[in-house]
């Protein structure tokens, strides 16, 4: 038995969906512990492309319980669309469960998110406009609507009266947006509650019963370490805690229940939205990485910013998450390059630093210090064992493992499930991960 947390070790979009899907075959329960529909992951199964935002990718295994935990914020309209999409693709959703205490993204949250981002102008954060920040804000202000409220008309009417009155005033007087009709909102969301009711459970009871019965539990984070509200590149962050510690809060478990933490990182780095990005590229190499990597956001469709692998933020992710292994994704995207650069430190104010600065202003001034490695100039897409990889590709992986001081357990070489080298299954495989040289 092993309880494992899967987190993004960069700015999100690292390919966690595929890795979670891969590990879910060994898991009995998969728990999504934070974020909302601002996250997205794409899974390719039997040449079918499935895009999910809320539902854990473990849903593709019919015997696996997939729980959307209390730390998530749920847009029921989007969730129901995902359910319909999965059913249309012949996916069994009987294992899907939703925490009764998860907070609900309401229509006023989306309107305010978009209006506030527009008002920021040049200081915009780059949010998805899906209402996630305002939903978490209401949660913190103890003014939110939870899934359990959608199951009872009296409760919903009582809970929504104050927030909706306040939000309508904001919409009208500050942002000049037409107010929402309370009765229409109540009717719409009671309807969502009725449809979701068969999936609603008590989150902590489900998880702790599984733990007592020695089940394998996989905790899935959304976004990535550098988007963490407390430990990321603030203010260009998300509104929750994607780091591994967030799993304890969002799922309602103690840290002693966690056995392992695996970080997912691309063989290069990407970022979507605003904020500093020291290794960011432009020109032909940027276009090559973007085109070969399909670097367009699952949620927004926005083109991602691409750059070389950043070992400084990588080591930071190891520290704040307690990573004990890595999954390196999209190694194949680098196949055509003659040489590959890796950031091993920064220059700040004329001095070399090898740590992630807490000041956003300092981070924006950091210049990357690179080490250049030879490329392999051949396709790795068909490799299924480490022995199949070109020696220069193996050397690149060893360099990353040594730089990060963490072994590599999984190497992904494409979008499909079979385009993967599993050196070690972090849930119940033998400990034989690719160690640093």
Q: Is 13 a catalytic residue?
A: yes
Taking CA 56 as the corner, what is the angle to CA 50 and CA 58, rounded to the nearest 5 degrees? 85
How far apart CA 150 and CA 127 sit, in angstroms, is 26
From the CB of residue 14, how many other CB atoms can be counted at a distance below 10 Å? 28
Going 99 to 103 to 108 to 111, the CA torsion angle's sign is negative
Is the CB of residue 10 less than 8 Å from the CB of residue 269?
yes
Collapsing DSSP to helix, strand or coil, 229 comes out as coil
Cis preceding-peptide flag for 235 (omega within 30 of 0): yes
Collapsing DSSP to helix, strand or coil, 191 comes out as helix
Q: Is 75 a catalytic residue?
A: no
Catalytic choice (21, 28, 41, 113):
41
Q: Where are the alpha helices (DSSP H) in 89-217?
A: 107-120, 132-140, 153-169, 182-196, 203-212
How far apart CA 80 and CA 101 sit, in angstroms, is 18
- List the one residue out of 230, 244, 404, 235 whose CA is nearest residue 316: 404
- List the one residue out of 91, 76, 38, 65 whose CA is nearest residue 203: 65
Structure tokens at 62: 């019919």
Residues identified as active-site:
13, 41
């Amino acid at each position: 038995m092993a309880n494992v947390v899967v987190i993004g070790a960069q700015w999100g979009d690292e390919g966690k969906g595929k890795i979670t899907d891969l590990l879910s075959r060994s898991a009995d329960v998969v728990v999504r512990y934070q974020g909302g529909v601002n996250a997205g992951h794409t899974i390719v199964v039997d040449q079918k492309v499935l895009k999910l935002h809320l539902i854990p990718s473990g849903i593709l295994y019919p015997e696996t319980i997939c729980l959307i935990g209390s730390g998530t914020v749920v847009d029921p309209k989007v969730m129901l669309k995902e359910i319909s999409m999965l059913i249309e693709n012949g996916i069994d959703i009987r294992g899907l469960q939703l925490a009764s205490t998860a907070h609900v993204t309401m229509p006023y949250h989306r309107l305010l998110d978009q209006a506030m981002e527009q008002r920021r102008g040049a200081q915009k954060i780059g949010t998805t406009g899906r209402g996630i920040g305002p939903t978490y804000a209401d949660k913190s202000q103890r003014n939110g609507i939870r899934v359990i409220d959608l199951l009872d008309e009296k409760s919903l009417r009582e809970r929504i009266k104050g927030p909706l009155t306040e939000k309508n005033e904001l919409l009208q007087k500050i942002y000049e947006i037409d107010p929402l009709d309370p009765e229409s909102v109540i009717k719409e969301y009671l309807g969502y509650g009725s449809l979701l009711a068969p999936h609603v459970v008590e989150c902590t009871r489900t998880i702790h019963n599984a733990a007592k019965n020695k089940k394998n539990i996989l905790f899935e984070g959304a976004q990535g370490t550098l988007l963490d509200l407390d430990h990321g590149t603030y203010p260009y962050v998300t509104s929750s805690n994607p780091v591994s510690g967030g799993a304890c809060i969002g799922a309602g478990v103690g840290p002693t229940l966690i056995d392992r933490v695996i970080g997912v990182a691309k063989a290069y780095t990407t970022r979507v939205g605003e904020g500093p990005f020291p290794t960011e590229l432009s020109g032909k190499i940027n276009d090559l990485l973007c085109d070969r990597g399909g670097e367009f956001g699952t949620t927004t469709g926005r083109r991602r910013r691409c750059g070389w692998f950043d070992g400084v933020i990588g080591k930071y992710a190891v520290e704040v998450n307690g990573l004990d292994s890595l999954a390196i994704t999209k190694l194949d995207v680098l196949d055509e390059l003659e040489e590959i650069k890796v950031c091993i430190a920064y220059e700040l104010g004329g001095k070399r630093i090898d740590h992630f600065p807490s000041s956003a202003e300092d981070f924006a001034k950091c210049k990357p210090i690179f080490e250049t490695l030879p490329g392999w100039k051949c396709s790795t897409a068909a490799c299924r064992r480490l022995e199949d990889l070109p020696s220069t590709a193996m050397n690149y992986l060893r360099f990353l493992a040594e730089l990060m001081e963490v072994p590599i357990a999984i190497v992904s070489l494409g979008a499909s499930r079979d385009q993967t080298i599993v050196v070690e299954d972090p849930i119940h495989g033998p400990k034989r991960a690719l160690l640093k040289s």
